[in-house]
Amino acid sequence: MSETLQHIVIVFGILFGLLTLAAGLIWIERRLLALWQNRYGPNRVGPFGIFIVLADMIKIFFKEDWIPPFADKKVFVIAPTIIMLTVLLSWAIVPVAPGVVVLDLHIGILFFLAISSIGIYSTVLAGWASNNKYSLLGGMRMSAQMFSYEVFMGLSLMGVVIMAGSFNLSDIVNAQENMWFVLPQFLGFVIFFIAGLAESHRLPFDMPEAESELIAGFHSEYSGMKFGMFFVGEYVGVTLISAMIVTLFFGGWHGPVLPPFVWFFLKMMFFICLFILLRAALPRPRYDQLLSYGWKILLPLALLNILVTGAIVLAIE
């Protein structure tokens, strides 16, 4: 009984923490972007402007939730829920601290890859259902982008799996007790980082929404809370990728002195800030550039990484 209760507490704790973090990221991102552009960002509402999040939420809840008459209604409504569902589902397998994980799957990484790929449907369907040329282009770009990164995303993680000897994320974290996998698997880390950026379609890989040429692309027809769901989905996606990087390459909750959860959180925040810095600093490539980059450079590198890692692990054994 108490174990069930504990589990329920963990589930709702992670869910609540995640949604709070996703909302807080609106503020964090705006403040950090401003910081790197010599501005202040929102600093009026509440201490350091943090209540701008509440103001934004109130505003977005009261916005008219408009469905364009030319849209494919059912798909249009379903699309934003998919991204929310998939990112939250993927979070289920991330171990936040020893034993604090919603779903301790023995095929954790495969589950993560599978579910996060389904998230792409959200973007593609949104672009399709909006029945709008720009949105459709955004959706198409998303599928092209998926072709380019999905291949080496999975492969870049296999080095970690070989070294840890398990697909289970808790096992992988435990295997990094003495050494973070980022050292032997640096290549894998870089490739996964790039793939993760493309997965969460954040700048510089935000071709599907490209404000400057596609006027927000796949979600240009969305308003009110549906638009908000895309945004929350994007932010939870960012935390998800950061959390995955931390668990797979940076020793998860391991760290001296501070409690495990705090270490996990600090490392994750570091990568979230890095994501935002990338957004502040880099321009957006063309999507065919990403395609050829992915297939011609990153895929061979990922394969090479697996080959070498496998050979070394075999030789040591």
Partner 1 sequence: MISILKSLWYVFLHMFRKRVTVQYPEEKNYLPPRWRGRIVLTRDPDGEERCVACYLCAVACPVDCIALDAAEADDGRRYPDFFRINFSRCIYCGYCEEACPTYAIQLIPDFEMAEYDRQNMVYEKEHLLINGEGKYHGYNFYKYAGLEIKGKAKGEGIDEEKPIDPKSLMP
Residues of this chain that interact with partner 1 (CB under 8 A) are 35-40, 277-278, 280-282
Residue closer to partner 1 by CB (options 35, 50) is 35
User: Cα–Cα distances in Å, from 246 out to 23, 58, 263, 271, 300?
Assistant: 21, 33, 10, 8, 24
For the bound state, the minimum distance from the C-beta of residue 34 to partner 1, rounded and expressed in Å, comes to 8
Measure the CA–CA gap between 196 and 70, rounded to whole angstroms. Answer: 34
For the purposes of burial, counting CB atoms within 10 Å of the CB of 71, is it exposed (0-12), middle (13-18) or buried (19 or more)? buried
Report, in Å, the least distance between residue 207 CB and partner 1.
17
* Cβ at position 205, least distance to partner 1 in Å: 13
The torsion angles phi and psi of 100, rounded to 5 degrees, stand at -95, 85
Closest separation in Å from C-beta 49 to partner 1:
12
* Cβ atoms within 10 Å, residue 234: 19
The first and second tokens of residue 157, run together, are 């993680």
Pick between residue 39 and residue 73 the one whose CB is nearest to partner 1.
Answer: 39
Q: What is the DSSP annotation of 45-65? A: SSGGGTTHHHHHHHHHHHS--
Q: How far is the CB of 271 from partner 1 (least distance, A)?
A: 14
d(CA 308, CA 317): 14
- DSSP conformational letter for 97: B
- Closest approach, Cβ 194 to partner 1, in A, equals 11
